[in-house]
Chain A
Amino acid sequence: MLSPERLALPDYEYLAQRHVLTYMEDAVCQLLENREDISQYGIARFFTEYFNSVCQGTHILFREFSFVQATPHNRVSFLRAFWRCFRTVGKNGDLLTMKEYHCLLQLLCPDFPLELTQKAARIVLMDDAVDCLMSFSDFLFAFQIQFYYSEFLDSVAAIYEDLLSGKNPNTVIVPTSSSGQHRQRPALGEAGMLEGVEASLFYQCLENLCDRHKYSCPPPALVKEALSNVQRLTFYGFLMALSKHHGINQALGALPDKGDLMIDPAMDEELERLVVRSKLHRTPWQHRAKEPGAFGFQRREKQEALERVSSASVPTPYHYRWEPRE
Chain B
Amino acid sequence: MIPGKYRSVSGRAANNVEFKLNKDTSSFPGRLSQHDLERNYSSRQGDHINLVSSSLSSFPILQRSSEEKILYSDRLSLERQKLTVCPIINGEDHLRLLNFQHNFITRIQNISNLQKLISLDLYDNQIEEISGLSTLRCLRVLLLGKNRIKKISNLENLKSLDVLDLHGNQITKIENINHLCELRVLNLARNFLSHVDNLNGLDSLTELNLRHNQITFVRDVDNLPCLQHLFLSFNNISSFDSVSCLADSSSLSDITFDGNPIAQESWYKHTVLQNMMQLRQLDMKRITEEERRMASVLAKKEEEKKRESHKQSLLKEKKRLTINNVARQWDLQQQRVASIATDEDRKDSDSAQDPCQIDGSTLSAFPEETGPLDSGLNNALQGLSVVDTYLVEVDGDTLSLYGSGALESLDRNWSVQTAGMITTVSFTFIEFDEIVHVLPKLKIKFPNSLHLKFKETNLVMLQQFNALAQLRRIDQLTIDPQGNPVVNFTLWKYYVLFRLSHFSMQKINGTEVTQNDMIMAERLFGILAHVASSELPQYRLISILGDARKKQFRYLLESKGKKPGIINEENNDSKRPVGENTNRATLNYTTREFYNEKLEEIKEKKKFCKTYIEDLVKEATEINMKNEALQKLWPQMFIELVRDAVIEIRNKNSYMKLCLQQITDQK
Contacts and interface: CB of A to CB of B under 8 A. Distances in A.
Interface of A: 11-12, 15, 21, 24-26, 28-30, 32-34, 37-38, 41, 46, 49-50, 52-53, 56, 58-59, 61-62, 64, 81, 84-89, 92, 94-97, 99-100, 103-104, 106-107, 110-111, 178-179, 182-184, 267, 270-271, 274-275, 278-279, 281-283, 285-288, 290-297, 299
Contact of A25 (B504, B531, B610): B610
A99 B543 CA distance: 29
B634 interface: no
A35 to B, nearest CB: 10
13 contacts: A29-B602, A50-B539, A61-B532, A61-B535, A62-B532, A110-B595, A179-B350, A271-B522, A271-B523, A271-B526, A290-B516, A294-B514, A295-B494
B511 A275 contact: no
A96 B602 contact: no
A88 to B, nearest CB: 5
B518 A286 contact: yes
A106 B464 CA distance: 10
Contacts of B532: 61-62
B536 A58 contact: yes
Contact of A295 (B511, B531, B535, B625): B511
B527 A87 contact: yes
Given A58-B537, A107-B587, A295-B517, A34 B522 contact: no
Given A15-B617, A106-B463, 14 more contacts: A21-B613, A32-B605, A34-B539, A38-B539, A58-B535, A59-B537, A62-B536, A95-B490, A103-B462, A275-B522, A286-B504, A287-B515, A292-B516, A293-B520
Contacts of A58: 531, 535-537
Nearest to A53: B537
Contacts of A104: 462
Contacts of A12: 617, 621
Contacts of B350: 179, 182-184
Contacts of B617: 11-12, 15, 21
Contacts of B506: 285
A26 B539 CA distance: 14
B518 A282 contact: yes
A165 B177 CA distance: 104
Contact of A34 (B462, B494, B542): B542
Shortest 4 CB-CB contacts between residues of A and residues of B:
A293-B517, A49-B537, A274-B526, A34-B543
A24 B613 contact: yes
B609 interface: yes
Interface majority SS on B: helix, strand, loop or mixed?
A: helix
B512 A271 contact: no
Interface residues of B, number: 68
A286 B515 contact: yes
A316 B246 CA distance: 89
A225 to B, nearest CB: 34
A293 B490 contact: no
Contact of A88 (B519, B524, B590, B624): B524
A286 B501 CA distance: 12
B408 interface: no
Interface in B459-474: 461-463
B294 interface: no
B538 A275 contact: no
Nearest to B345: A182
A294 B489 contact: no
Contact of B349 (A59, A64, A182): A182
Contacts of A85: 527-528, 531
Given A33-B543, A107-B463, A178 B518 contact: no
A89 B511 contact: no
Contacts of B531: 58, 61, 81, 84-85
Contacts of B489: 96-97, 99-100, 103
Contacts of A81: 531
Contacts of B444: none
Contacts of A24: 613, 616
Interface string B306-337: 00000000000000000000000000000000
B262 to A, nearest CB: 56
A11 B539 contact: no
Contacts of B586: 62
Contact of A275 (B523, B539, B544): B523
Interface in B590-615: 590, 595, 599, 602, 605-606, 608-610, 612-613
B655 interface: no
Nearest to B532: A61
B524 A274 contact: no
Contacts of A285: 506
Contact of A270 (B514, B517, B530): B530
Q: Which of B491, B605, B624 has the most CB of A within 10 A?
A: B491
A100 B493 CA distance: 13
Interface string B492-515: 011000000100101000011111
B520 A297 contact: no
B536 A29 contact: no
A103 B461 contact: yes
Interface in B338-355: 348-351
A49 B526 contact: no
Interface in B543-557: 543-544, 546
Contact of B609 (A32, A53, A84, A96): A32
B516 A28 contact: no
B504 A283 contact: yes
Contacts of A53: 536-537, 540
Q: Which of B514, B616, B625 has the most CB of A within 10 A?
A: B514
Contact of B523 (A88, A95, A111): A88
Contacts of A282: 504, 515, 518
Given A49-B539, A58-B535, A274 B529 contact: yes
B414 interface: no
A100 B491 contact: yes
Nearest to B538: A49
A110 B590 contact: yes
B579 to A, nearest CB: 9
Q: Which of B525, B526, B617, B625 has the most CB of A within 10 A?
A: B526
Contacts of B518: 278, 282, 286
A96 B536 CA distance: 28
Given A92-B524, A100-B491, A25 B537 contact: no
B329 to A, nearest CB: 26
A316 to B, nearest CB: 19
B527 A270 contact: yes
Q: Which of A92, A103, A283, A296 has the most CB of B within 10 A?
A: A103
Contacts of B501: 278, 281
Nearest to B489: A100
Nearest to B516: A293
B624 A11 contact: yes
Contact of B605 (A29, A111, A270): A29
A50 B538 CA distance: 9
Nearest to A275: B522
Contacts of A184: 350-351
Contact of A37 (B351, B543, B620): B543
Contacts of A32: 605, 608-609
B348 A178 contact: yes
Contacts of B462: 103-104, 106-107
Contacts of A274: 522, 526, 529-530
Contacts of A294: 511-512, 514
Given A25-B606, A183-B350, A278-B518, A62 B544 contact: yes
A7 B526 CA distance: 46
Nearest to B614: A21
B238 to A, nearest CB: 53
Nearest to B510: A294
Given A271-B526, A291-B516, A295-B511, A30 B463 contact: no
Nearest to B590: A110
A41 B539 CA distance: 9
Contacts of A87: 527
